[in-house]
Structures are given as C-alpha cells and as structure tokens.
Structure 1
Amino acid sequence: MEFYNNHRLLFWSALLFFLFLTLNIAILPAIQNQQVYKPLPGTKPLSKDAKAGKSLYVANGCIACHTQQVRSVDMDKDFGSRPNIPADYATNQRMDVWRNTANLLGSERTGPDLTNIGERQPSIDWQLVHLYQPRAVVAESVMPAYQWLFEEKDYIQKGDIEVKVPEKFLKNRFKKIVAKKEALQLVAYLLSLKQTKLPDGTTPPEFLYKQKEQKTTAAGGTNLPDGGELYSTNCVACHQANGEGLPGAFPPLKGSPVVLGEDLKLYVTIIMKGYNPRPEYAVMPNVGTAANFTPEMVAAIINHERSSWGNTGKPVTADEVKKIMDEIK
C-alpha cells in the first residue's frame, strides 16, 4: 500500500497520533487536575527556610525510610487525624526548572509517616536532638545520625541554637553542640508538616478496618481512653517508656514533684500549654493544645503517669480536668 511505502506520511502520521495522545492523556487531564484540586482553606505555604529544608529532605534521601501519606486504614490513625486527600498535595510545586514536583509520598516505612509530624512532635529541641543522634530519644532507632548538620563549640555565641544532647552521646562533654543553618531549615520543614483541617461541614474519609477502642475506668467509675496508649503516642519520645526522661534533655516523670504533687492546675497547664522553667532541660511545647486533647484524654494521661514507674499519685477525673481547662483557655 502507498501509505506504508511513504516514509514521510508514516512519520507525520505517527507524530500527530503521538501528540494527540499526549494532549488527551497527559496535558489536558493535568490542566483539569490543577483546576479541580485546590489547596484546602487555611493551608499555609512553606516559608523560605521550610522550602530549603524540603530540598535537604530530598537531598538526604529521607523519602527512602519515611512516607507522607496517611492511608485510610485504622493502623495509620497514629500518623494523622484523617486519611490524606488529593487537596493535601495541591500546594506542591516543582523543585526547580530541572526537577519535577516532589510529593514525597514514599513507599516504605522504616521510620514513621511524617504527614503530621509538626503536630505530633512540635518540639524544636526534640527534633534537633533526634537529628543529631536518633538513639538519644528512640533507643531502637535505625536512623543514621546527621551530625554534619551540627558543629561543636567551646562557648555559645549570640544567635546560636544549642542542642540539649544527653551527655553519654557527646564525643566531648566539654563542647557545646550548636545547630547549623541547614539543621534549622530541615527542622523548619518537618514542623511545617501538618494536616490542614477540612472546611466546616465536610465529612472526612473514614479509617477502615477499625480496631476496638480500649477503655480504662478512672476513679468514680468514669470511662476514659487508654492512658498508656496516649502516653506512648504523645509523650514517650521525650519522657521515655520508663518515665525517666533523658538527663540533660528531657525531665523524668518518675518521682516528679509535678506528677505527684497536689497542684493539678500546674499539671494540666503544662500538658496543654507547655513548660519552660528550667535551663537544664529543653522546652516542652504545647502538646495538649496541638493534639486537641480532650479533658478525658488529659485525665487518662495523668492517671497513667501517676500510677506508673512506682508513682502512687492520686487519680483524677475528667470533670476536674475540664474545670481547669476551661479556666486556662
């Protein structure tokens, strides 16, 4: 046939067919997606430091061990308040003219998912210690230490951010560990990773294959969530599973005068609004406020801490905690 013998006709026909397919399969759907998937209201753009931190996140291969996708299965509930939706990634842009958009979804969880790490672990001090020596805060961690993001100094100078590293993890206990600009940028990116709340009236996707929620019974017969589980999710990274904290970094709860004391208002305020009274320890962020703790959750955590590691504190009820939370708002 003449068509198959004419190489020019074959070439231009194939080219036009290829361009037609490219337009209809790739370009037009991409344009439509950009029009349909808009950022959620209240989404905050990355700061200059957070953008630089994202580049460091990519350059250091963090995506090899960490995902940024909360799946719609109940086991992912620890990583976010809801499953991710396409709009969560609508603000992502090209890294530069040469590199495509970095969604950083990941495919392996050697380490935990980081979709909502800015809410789960909002402590700058914890993030810096974790980067310097992961095993200082998580004994079982297999994450490499990113110590080239820090420098040792004899004295702290104005503007330096000192990292509260436990003494046993220091190469020279007479030196001060100071975060470099790159470490602060990477932490800025990690702290920017927060799930945006859905607009009022929008029903979030459900978590599937739900596990039965455990309850404990507090004084007075009031049902509370599992305090041990809440502690493991929100507190154990700093105060450790044994309640002994990390010397020089995070204070112990075992035998703590705050935990065992009678000043319940101080105790609840620390959980909800954070604490920074002692220079020998890192600053505690507002964990309770950031994680939207309810009075029942706070009471469950307090009761767990007051009855663990040999502590024998008085149990509290959700009503007592609620009264204080209403007062300190």
Structure 2
Amino acid sequence: MEFFNNHKSLFTATAVLFLLLTLFVAIMPALDNQARNAPLPNAEPLSEAARKGKALYIANGCVACHTQQVRNVEMDKMWGTRPSISADYAGIKRQDLWRNTATLMGTERTGPDLINVGNRQPSLEWNLVHLYNPRAVVSESIMPAYPWLFEIRENVGLDDVVVAVPEEFMGGKKGKVVATEDALNLVAYLQSLKQTELPTGEIMPEFIYKRNAETAQASGGGEAAGADAAAPKIDGAALYATHCQTCHQPNGKGLPGAFPALAGSSVVLDDDIEIFVDIIMNGYNARANEGYGPMPAVGKTANLTAEEIAAIMTHERTNWGNDASEVSAEEVAKIMEMVTQ
C-alpha cells in the first residue's frame, strides 16, 4: 500500500505505463503500417497551390460534411472508379510539425464524397461559382456559401479570374466577382483529388452487395427479371444527372454567362453527331469570347462507354423541347474511335 500512498512513485509508474502503451499500441503499429503501404506508382504529390488549398479545406471545416473514402459497397460506385485502398493515403503527410491532418477521410457524408472529385468535376469555373454560392449551380444544395474567398470589383485586371455569378445570387452587389488566391488554391486542392489508376496486373477491388440475377429472382422477378438485372438498360437521365447536370442544369438551360444551354443547341440537335461526340470526349473551349469557360473532357475523364455516351446524347436530344432522333451506340463507337486517336 505504500506504493499507492507515494505520489511520486504513482505518477512515475503511470507515466511509464502510458509511454509503453503509446509505443506498442500507437507508434509501432503506425510505423509498421507505413512500411507495408507505399504510394501508388502514378500518384502525384500536391502542388504548392493545392497544399495551401488543403490548409483552407481544413480551416473552413469541409471535413465535417465531406468524406474522402469510397467504401467497397455498390452504393459508393458513383463516387469513384473503385473502392479506396490503403495505398491511396500512403503518400499523404502531415501539414507541419504541429498539425497531423493527413488523410481527411471524414466520418459523415452530408455532402458528396470528394476523393475523386477532380475527375468528376474538373471545371475551374464551376467550382468557383459553387464556392461563391452553391445554390447558383445546385438549387437544392445545403452547403454554406464562401463569399469571403472572393472580391467584388468594378474594374478587373488581365490576370484576375472573373467568376460568372448570376445576378440573382449577387445579393444586390454591383461589379464583377473576382476569385482571390485563397479561392484558387482551394479549387486547386479539390481538382487534385483524383483516384490513381492501379498498376497493370493489380487486381481491381470489387464493390460488394451488388443486386444480381439471383437477388432479382428471389424477390419474385423470375427468369425475365433475372435477365433484366444481368443486362440493365442504361439510364441516360441518370448519367446526365451524374456527369452533366451540375453545369448545364436539370432543365438543360445552362447558367447564363457561365455554362451554355443544351435546350435548342445547334450542336445537340445536329443530325451529324461527330462534333457532339468530340466535345464529350475531348472537351470544348470555342466559346471563351462569350464568357463561357472550357468544358472538360467528360467522356475521357469518366471513362464513359459508347453505350453510356449514346444514352446521354439521346437524353439531351429528346428533352427540354429538343426533338432530334435517338443515337445508337454503334454510331458513337465509330466516332469515338476517330476522335480519340
């Protein structure tokens, strides 16, 4: 009992035990985990701008609503091309000596997962408008606005990045919205978030809990339902919502001064679909003089198939008052082969 009555012995023993537990429970497993997992060969380190943007991501509490992890369940397939693996985070280091915010994986997905957002939404213009006021591009968004990352100016310089914010979202302010260096750095970080391709020969992790033919039959669908589940019809509306809607809007009318309309578009309605396919696959920047930002190469970035592109094009050509003919996957496949060589 004398040991428990001697405060020096008691606190010394407690400190030693704490250090031993820290060594064996935290430090040694962490070092072993670091030694076992190396960054993927094609992984790119953060640029200086992206590194500063990461600090802003942390400072503004973005991790509270956004995760950076694609789970291996099928419902997460929309966020990345594959489930996340340890190597995705192996090259991420602490911010500095005092701050260890390595992965920012998050625990709550109030907003969409961001680990592959650099591929899903690479447009600088969209990201800047979205930061200034998310409701300008996604009317249902509950994300807070970040207007302090921008300045309102009457006169802008040649090097200023002007953001095409619709007048109704300006709050009565007059002038042009100019992105500050902080806004550009934050977007640089978001654009850097891309899933790295696995090395050739590496087994691709699978998404689990898939709805397959057996589950369809078990639910009473029978053989016909099983066949449909094995070869589901590609939903052009869903693909449009995933890859196109944030810029061109659900009604196809785009965003004036920022993203062109698809309703009534001569490119969309043209019987010769070569230019249309080329824009989807390789992007487009021929309307910069009208104030529109460049469209990214959505088809290449998202690895869309000919069937998926045909479904998207058919949706755009037959909605919002557009009355052009449907597009076949065979037509698209031939053009894709030409425009991607």
Whether the TM-score (by the shorter chain) exceeds 0.5 is: yes
Decide which of 321, 328, 334 is 1:310's aligned counterpart: 321
Root-mean-square deviation (CA, aligned residues, Å) is 2.2
What's 2:240 paired with?
231
The equivalences for 1:209-228 within 5 A come to 209-211=209-211, 225-228=234-237
What's 2:129 paired with?
129
Identify unmatched segments of 5+ residues in structure 2.
214-230
Separation of aligned partners in 2, 1:38 and 1:28? 17
Separation of aligned partners in 1, 2:149 and 2:32? 41
Kept after mapping to 1: 8 A contact 2:152/2:174: no
Identify unmatched segments of 5+ residues in structure 1.
214-221
Separation of aligned partners in 2, 1:35 and 1:128? 39
Separation of aligned partners in 1, 2:5 and 2:253? 82
Q: One-letter code of the match for 1:159?
A: D
* Residues 261-300 of structure 1: per-residue CA shift (max 9 Å, x gap): 1231100011111111222322211111111111111111
* Residues 119-153 of structure 1: per-residue CA shift (max 9 Å, x gap): 00010000001001110100011111111111112
Task: Verify: 1:23 aligned to 2:9, yes or no.
Answer: no
The equivalences for 1:180-329 within 5 A come to 180-211=180-211, 225-278=234-287, 279-329=290-340
Separation of aligned partners in 2, 1:236 and 1:9? 67
Call closer, same or farther: CA 1:2–1:116 in 2, change over 3 Å.
same
What's 1:218 paired with?
none
Call closer, same or farther: CA 1:164–1:14 in 2, change over 3 Å.
closer
Kept after mapping to 2: 8 A contact 1:167/1:247: no
Kept after mapping to 2: 8 A contact 1:224/1:300: no
Structure 2 SS opposite 1:177: strand
Q: One-letter code of the match for 2:334?
A: K
- How far 1:101 sits from its partner (Å)? 3.0
- How far 1:105 sits from its partner (Å)? 1.3
Is 140-149 or 276-285 further displaced after alignment? Answer: 276-285
Task: Verify: 1:66 aligned to 2:66, yes or no.
Answer: yes
TM-score computed with the length of structure 2 as normaliser? 0.88
- How far 1:8 sits from its partner (Å)? 6.4
Q: One-letter code of the match for 2:197?
A: K
- How far 1:4 sits from its partner (Å)? 6.4
Task: Verify: 1:157 aligned to 2:157, yes or no.
Answer: yes
Q: One-letter code of the match for 2:307?
A: E
Total equivalences in the alignment: 321
TM-score computed with the length of structure 1 as normaliser? 0.91
Call closer, same or farther: CA 1:11–1:131 in 2, change over 3 Å.
closer
Kept after mapping to 2: 8 A contact 1:129/1:163: yes
Structure 2 SS opposite 1:225: coil
* Residues 52-75 of structure 1: per-residue CA shift (max 9 Å, x gap): 000000001111111111111111
Structure 1 SS opposite 2:294: coil
Kept after mapping to 1: 8 A contact 2:74/2:210: yes
Question: Larger relative CO (CA 8 A, sep 6+): 1 or 2?
Answer: 1
Call closer, same or farther: CA 1:2–1:153 in 2, change over 3 Å.
closer
Q: One-letter code of the match for 1:238?
A: C
Kept after mapping to 2: 8 A contact 1:53/1:188: yes
- How far 1:234 sits from its partner (Å)? 0.3
Kept after mapping to 2: 8 A contact 1:167/1:248: no
Structure 2 SS opposite 1:203: coil
* Residues 226-259 of structure 1: per-residue CA shift (max 9 Å, x gap): 1111111000101111111111111111111111
